[in-house]
Structure 1
């Protein structure tokens, strides 16, 4: 490798050699932590929920680590840098969504469940059909979320190593997938939680530093920042107003409503976030963890506004679009502009840890759903040993990891915040109606639960497949094909109401479950936490 090449690479995307060194150090350190903690992972409770041994503060950090994904850092900063006000709508949606999850489902779900979302849904309903439906919802939400993280990781490392070729970026996604699988197989929930705590502190800390450096670089406050961002966009003041991306046509206006619905309602149905409430011993610690999570998450999303406009002002939209990874490259390129190659390497390593922590949490959630809900409760009728469940979980991690790698390669050209919004739409369509009806509607029955999940899930999946996100556009998964007949990029506007409607129709069509005693017990447990240590298995 010639010195001329090194200097050219460094001027565009930092020093690739330095970037690799920092990455390797980061991976070795976090893997060492995972291996040390993973030695204590012996049974299903340890693997799924860390033995419910974490404090509220620790869990709050881990929730923030789980929630602040590659979409939050890479995708949103890029979206704001290129589309301004409309890009910031992702930040608003993701944060408001957390408040909805807190108010409606967080504590009741923790009080009623044990390992997975299906524990809640099947508490007073028939086990097998509900658990199978819930497992399908969990798997598809986790899979779409994983695709986004894989695509984000591919974009990130492509920027660092200046890889413009599709093949090289695909190899990066494969490597990320293998590392993720190793994290989960070795550490389980305990190892993953410690990585998430470390990553949350580092991510929020570095974003604070970057925010301060942006104001220092533009030599002023918000007015100066916005002025320079507009200048970088050729004086286009639409950057500061609604409608630069959404609002130009009637279809784009509907797409914005659909996106907003998916973001605000989706979090309350995300199984990997809800599963974190099972890692604390009491409801009091659960509330404490929520307080910490809201502080960190809220501060982070406010600062993405500064980073996004900072990337527009200091890096420029043309350079962002031309970089490997496109919009997802905005945050690393801003770090390069603010602090040089070493700072960019540090920021990117933390972003990479963000991806690893989130995909590990997703993989555990999916594997728990297969092992606990499908294998243990349905296939083995509750007779399997914990060793068997953990073994099935590990196999599931490998399988879903491979599938996520393949689909992540296909989705590399998409903005990761947009890809995560698809996962939110599926969660809001399939999971949220069933959770809310189970917790708050006494007449809700098994038929209603199954109908709600499948109607929301299938409608969301069908509309995504036939949307511009998959075909018919330059950034689609299959850009050379066009079988898109659904005009909206996000299916939430149609699939979310269908999920809620399916639950109502199914409940009135189906027969009552006649489990009034369990309904009363569930109501007491969800509101008070009494009896949490004695989960019902019927």
Structure 2
């Protein structure tokens, strides 16, 4: 992309940024600065609005760029991400959506602390939430860098660096000024744009192949360089036992991780009732289901029309498959139609990244302020900054950390990075959440052990895995200190999180508080006393 075509895409980027900043400014004028307004948008959103916002929060750069790229590179095996992300919402709908809305106020720790000693539980859950959020943010930063680098010539490291910094700065502005209300409206706008863009591309791909799905798959297999094996399992996760276990580990992380994502759980607090939270999930499942079906068409379409080799040459991780597909569908490189469609898709993808990073940053800053900061003891009589003030400062700190890690991990696939975040969420957050909601004997020690028993192994296993060292695509390819053979730790760390919670409970010296559990159970199931 050169000349006027680059200018067009940059103009569309600028338009969306201007619109979202306008929304943020408008919302910031009407806010009253309370914690409920900042964290939950005043709980004024309808189920449909919140459903679109959930979809906008969930359909990230990993979905639009990473999954389609993995399908373009690995065919059938890449579809695991689409299936896993979609099936995960059944867990959310059936097990956590309504109960979390009834039991909490703003964060995951609220649910657990409702029947436990607050300070140790909040510190543990807050630490876990921030860790998951930062990992998720890194994936969005990598996606933004890949997208703009392609626009400006494909190999511009300076463009990647400044894009990551720019996205980090924008997300801090969105969260600090507008809080949850601005973030929600940005996510709604982004969800509409993303669905429209995905539908348009899907229709164009199917028209190109005259609606013949078989022809699309056959052509994709031919141009992939792998032949018929492209359409069968095993291209990425076949072969030795390590690859097969990685497949199981990734699937486990994807299906269970969504219910432990802090920025998804926080969305259930933006509606007035538990019934509205449940209906929000139904809306989001419809949108997300349609979208992930379309990513399959886009992935195979990129393999068939662009070619797997060209996708890999543009970005080794496949993150630019969809923009390249748009360029081809519009008429190819150098054509006005190709430039316009490429620019529109690139702008939509950039909008996706901005909206998601805003939601994640808000969730992480809420964990810092509402859980960690609120748990720190202060000398009596000293004036303390408000939670909202601390949350705004925390947003800047989280943004800085995410920028640094995003620059370090810029060559990894964004869907793969999100898979790691899901593994940590499924290991540290989901066990303590389910135990708190459904196990009468669960204790404070069990809650703390459950969080750290999943979080620490998950992070350590990633550090000592081929993701960080010992492989050509590692963060540090020149060194080798990996001892864990799998790329995703879920198959080990998720059971450890559940086991640690059980051990902490049965070995706890204090008996469980049966009365508080009964109160929490009634509140969770009926909504009586819910905020």
Q: TM-score range, shorter-chain basis? A: over 0.9
Residue 34 in structure 1 maps to residue 24 in structure 2: yes
Cα displacement (A) at 1:154: 0.6
Give the CA deviation at 1:516. 2.1
Higher mean Cα deviation, 509-518 or 200-209?
509-518
Which of 133, 139, 143 does residue 152 from structure 1 map onto?
Answer: 143
The answer to whether the 8 Å contact 2:138/2:406 transfers is yes
2:404 maps to 1:412: no
Q: 1:386 to 1:315 in 2, by over 3 A?
A: farther
Which of 218, 221, 224 lines up with 1:227 in the alignment?
Answer: 218
Q: 1:493 and 2:484 equivalent?
A: no
**TM-score when scaled to structure 2?**
0.96
Change in Cα spacing, 1:292 to 1:361, as seen in structure 2 (3 Å) is: same
**Of 466, 475, 478, which aligns to 1:477?**
475
Q: Say whether 1:125 aligns with 2:116.
A: yes
- Report the CA distance between 1:165 and its aligned residue: 3.5
Residues of 2 paired with 1:260 and 1:381: CA distance?
A: 48
8 Å Cα contact 1:185-1:397 kept in structure 2: yes
**Matches of 1:262 and 1:165, distance apart in 2:** 33
Q: Please point out which of 106, 125, 134 is paired with 1:115.
A: 106
Map 1:211-250 → 2, pairs under 5 A: 211-234=202-225, 236-250=227-241
Aligned to 2:393: 395
Corresponding residue number in structure 2 for 1:305 = 296
What's 2:363 paired with?
Answer: 365
Output the TM-score relative to the length of structure 1.
Answer: 0.94
Q: Which residue of 1 aligns with 2:200?
A: 209
Pairwise CA RMSD: 1.7
| SS at 2:318 equivalent | helix
User: Does 1:285 find its partner at 2:276?
Assistant: yes
Alignment of 1:262 onto 2:260: no
Report the Cα distance in structure 2 between the residues aligned to 1:502 and 1:492, rounded to whole angstroms: 15
| CA contact 1:44–1:386 (8 Å) conserved in 2 | no
Moved more, 23-32 or 416-425: 23-32
**CA deviation map 1:235-259 (0-9, x unaligned):** 6111110111101111100000110
SS at match of 2:350: helix
Taking the aligned partners of 2:399 and 2:198, their CA distance within structure 1 comes to: 29
User: Which whole-Å deviations, capped at 9, do the CAs of 1:499-520 have from their partners, x for residues lacking one?
Assistant: 0000010001112355222111
Tell me, in whole angstroms, the C-alpha distance in 1 between the residues paired with 2:101 and 2:2.
49
**Helix, strand or coil: the match of 1:22?**
helix
Q: What's the secondary structure of 1:39's corresponding residue?
A: helix
Q: 2:171 aligns with which of 163, 180, 184?
A: 180
Q: Which moved more, 1:74-83 or 1:515-524?
A: 515-524
User: What SS does the corresponding residue of 1:84 show, helix, strand or coil?
Assistant: helix
Counterpart CA distance in 2 for 1:384 and 1:468 is: 49
* Conserved 8 A contact 2:253-2:423: yes
CA 1:79/1:383 → structure 2, altered by over 3 Å: closer, same or farther? farther
Count of aligned pairs? 523
**Equivalent residue, structure 2, for 1:436:** 434
User: Which residue of structure 2 lines up, in the alignment, with residue 197 of structure 1?
Assistant: 188
- For residues 197 and 473 of structure 1, what CA distance do their matches in structure 2 show? 40
The 8 Å contact of residues 131 and 373 in structure 1, kept in 2 or not, is answered as: yes
Query: Post-superposition shift, 1:326?
Result: 4.1
CA distance in 2, matches of 1:383, 1:331: 57
- Kindly indicate whether the alpha-carbon contact (under 8 Å) linking 2:145 and 2:159 is maintained by their aligned counterparts in 1: no
Which of 326, 347, 362 aligns to 1:335? It is: 326
Q: 1:437 to 1:385 in 2, by over 3 A?
A: farther
Asked if structure 2 preserves the Cα contact closer than 8 Å seen for 1:376 and 1:384, the reply is no
How many angstroms does 1:217 deviate by?
1.6
Residue 328 of structure 1 aligns to a residue in which SS?
A: coil
- 8 Å Cα contact 1:162-1:324 kept in structure 2: no
CA distance in structure 2 between the partners assigned to 1:224 and 1:82 by the alignment: 18
Flag structure 2 segments of 5+ consecutive residues without an equivalent.
331-337
Structure 2 match to 1:3: none
The alpha carbon displacement at 1:142 in A equals 0.3
Correspondence 1:519 to 2:517: yes
Distance 1:78 1:472, change over 3 A: same
Deviation at 1:378, TM superposition (A): 3.5
Cα distance in 2 for partners of 1:453, 1:59 equals: 28
Partner SS state of residue 248, structure 1: coil
Deviation of the 1:471 alpha carbon: 1.1
For the structure 1 residues 371 and 385, does the alpha-carbon distance in structure 2 shift closer, same or farther, using more than 3 Å as the test? Answer: farther
Contact 2:306 2:324 in 1 (8 A): yes
CA contact (8 A) 1:376 1:382 kept: no
Deviation at 1:26, TM superposition (A): 1.2
Summarize the Cα distance change of 1:403–1:287 in structure 2 as closer, same or farther, 3 Å threshold.
same
Larger mean Cα displacement after TM superposition, 376-385 or 195-204:
376-385
> How much does 1:338 deviate?
1.3
Shift of 1:384: 10
Aligned to 1:81: 72
* Displacement after TM superposition at 1:39 (Å): 1.9
User: Relative to structure 1, is the Cα distance of residues 384 and 19 closer, same or farther in structure 2, using a 3 angstrom cutoff?
Assistant: farther
